[in-house]
Every structure is written in structure tokens, then in C-alpha cells.
Amino acid sequence: MPQLEDIRNDFLRQEVSDFIERPEERAKIIGLIAKASPAMQQIGAALIEGQNKVVDQLTRSALDAGTPALEVMDDGLIAAMAIVGIKFRENFIFVPEVLSCARAMKAGMAHIEPILSASGIEPIAKVVMGTVKGDLHDIGKNLCIMMLRGAGFEVIDLGVDTSPDRFLQAVEEHNAPLMGMSALLTTTMPNMGRTIEAFIDADLRDQVKIMVGGAPVTQDFADEMGADGYGKDAVACVALAKKLVGAAA
Amino acid sequence: MQKIDPKEYQKRLDTLSEILNGIAHRADELSQQRCPYKNRHNQCTASFGCRNKRKPSTEGELPRCAGDDKLDYRKAWE
């Protein structure tokens, strides 16, 4: 049975020693990481530190060197995200750190996507996501994006303070069948309705399913604005997205 | 170019989704008390104003968060 000392990467060994306390989780993580190649352990270490440029470079190098993509996913990216999840659960890190790690994961997956495409594996659907005009809150949106990507969606992130025109332009440019809007302020919520109206005026409303979310948003509000669905949290967002594009749950 | 078996890829997505679901649930719980923009160093990563923002300890660093996680932090957002 692998031991902690069998993890060759110093940073990863320290991470497991310092942060993975439950014996069964520790044994499982050690088992996963100890068998990983040095290159995969390096990718994992960089992901846990949120170093997206390093993950980008190391993933590209590993794939160029012939490492199977699934090995990169298993031993580099997913094993590291498992550690991130444990650290977050135990309050060693918080949402900003988790989102940095998610960005690093995305940087790695960007090199695997062409391989997926060549294998005939396409994203479930494209989804445009943004926080509405006048609103600068993005944590909820970013958590939803992390979940959507993890579930197999291709996400176009428009950021914050997104105008109706910008939403329109992005949906058209990317031919996205799905769009998500977030608002955290009661003062900016009406911009969800304005954005939906912009789609109606542009004769594009029927081409896209629109979901909304955010702390002050409710199902009633979503119905009133003419949205196709409301997600109360990031998990619900993914379920709703799959439902709206007709994908398997 | 190498190829990936769709079923094998789906297994990885399922594993990843399980990890991320755990993260999302925890984020929901935690956000009842602790502002989600507050990082592990109790610094503020928000780009909007907040009454709990304080000058950083060292110039060039992120602002400090003075929120004590006892009051509703959303009331401090500007």
C-alpha cells in the first residue's frame, strides 16, 4: 500500500500531510498521487496553487510528449481538484482560491478539448454566461461556470456589467442555444427583463433558452421576466441547463 | 492525434461533477456566514465597493476585510 513518502513531489506530499486528515481520504489520495508520474504530480501541484499558466504549459508539454489525455485528467487535474475540494470543505481555503484552481483546471482542459473533438466528443452545448448591466457581482456566476464546464458544457463567460447588446452579440457569434444571466442587486434585476426584450426585438428569442439566477432572483421573477428557467444555486444551474438543451440528466 | 473513448471520458466527467457538487454545496453553506469574496488571508477579492474593505497591510496587496462573519455581509456591499 502506497505511503505518504511515495509521493515524490514535495509540494503535493506536504499538501496531503497538512490538509488531508481523514484516514480513508488520505489513503485514497496517496494511492492516486503516488502512482502518478512526476509530470502529472507537477500539473497537480500547479493546479492546487491556482497557477493557470503553469498548468497550461505543463499540460501542453505532457500531451506533446505522448501522455494519454485521460491520464492527464485522472492523475494531474482531477486528483488535484479532489484535494482542492477537501481543503475547501475543511476551511483551509475559500471560494476565491477554489475559483483560481478552477481556472487552472480550465487551462489544462483547453489542451484536451481538441483531442475530445477529434474523438467525436463534443460539448453538451454552448452557453453564454454573464452578470447583467450595472452589476459587478460574479462569484455565483463563476461557481455556475465552474460547474457547467465540469459537466461538459462549453461556456462563454462575458464577465460582469454585461449589456443586452453584448449578450445578443455573443449568442449570435457563438450560435449558443443557451444563455445564463446573474444579478445580485434588486436594482439590476430589471436588466434581465431588458435583455430578454432585446432578444425579442432582435427576433432571436426563439433561438435561445434563457436561464436566470442570483440571490434576489426567484422563480416568480423569472416567470415574470419571460425567462425559460431559474436556478437557485450552481448545482440547480447545471440540472436546468441540461433540461433546457434536452441533455441527459 | 490520440483518441478518447467517450464512455471513459464520461466517467471522468462524473468523478469531476461529484467533486464540484461537493464544492458547490459547501460554498452555499459557507456563504450564509462568510462573504464569498473573502480569501484565506481575509483579503477582499471583490471589484465593487464594500463598507468592510480596509486598506491593505502592505501596499500593492488586496484590501483587508474587516467583516467578522457574524453579521450579514451583504448589507455592507455597495
Q: Which three cell numbers stand for residue A29?
A: 489520495
A202 pLDDT above the threshold of 90:
yes
**Domain spans of chain B?**
6-76
**What does the angle CA B41 – CA B46 – CA B52 come to, to the nearest 5 degrees?**
70
CA distances from B49 to B15, B52, B77 (A): 38, 9, 6
CB nearest B4 (choices: A95, A115, A215): A115
Q: pLDDT of A67-93, one tens digit each?
A: 999 999 999 999 999 999 999 999 999
CA distance B1 to chain A (A): 7
* Residues found in chain B: 78
* Predicted pLDDT of residue B69: 84
Quick check: A115 pLDDT over 80?
A: yes
Q: What is the pLDDT of residue B78?
A: 75
Cβ contacts of B8 on chain A, cutoff 8 Å: 70
In terms of C-beta density within 10 A (0-12 exposed, 13-18 middle, 19 or more buried), how is residue A113 classed?
middle
Q: What is the pLDDT of residues A126-145, one digit of tens each?
A: 999 999 999 999 999 999 99
For residue A192, is pLDDT > 90? yes
CB A132 within 8 A of CB A210: no
pLDDT tens per residue across span A156-186:
999 999 999 999 999 999 999 999 999 999 9
- Residue B54 touches partner A, C-beta closer than 8 Å: no
pLDDT value of position B71: 73
Average pLDDT of span A97-117: 97
Contact of B41 with chain A, judged by CB distance below 8 Å, is answered with no
Residue A190, pLDDT score: 95
Mean pLDDT of A34-38: 97
What local confidence, expressed as pLDDT, does residue A248 receive? 79
Number of Cβ pairs < 8 A linking chain A and chain B: 109
Distance from CA of B19 to the nearest CA of A (A): 6
Per-residue confidence (pLDDT) for residue B68, from 0 to 100: 86
Q: What's residue B74's pLDDT?
A: 80
Percent of chain A with pLDDT over 90: 98
List of chain B residues with pLDDT < 50: none
Q: What pLDDT is stored for residue A201 in this prediction?
A: 98
Mean pLDDT of chain A: 97
Q: Domains along chain A?
A: 4-118 (1.10.1240.10), 126-245 (3.40.50.280)
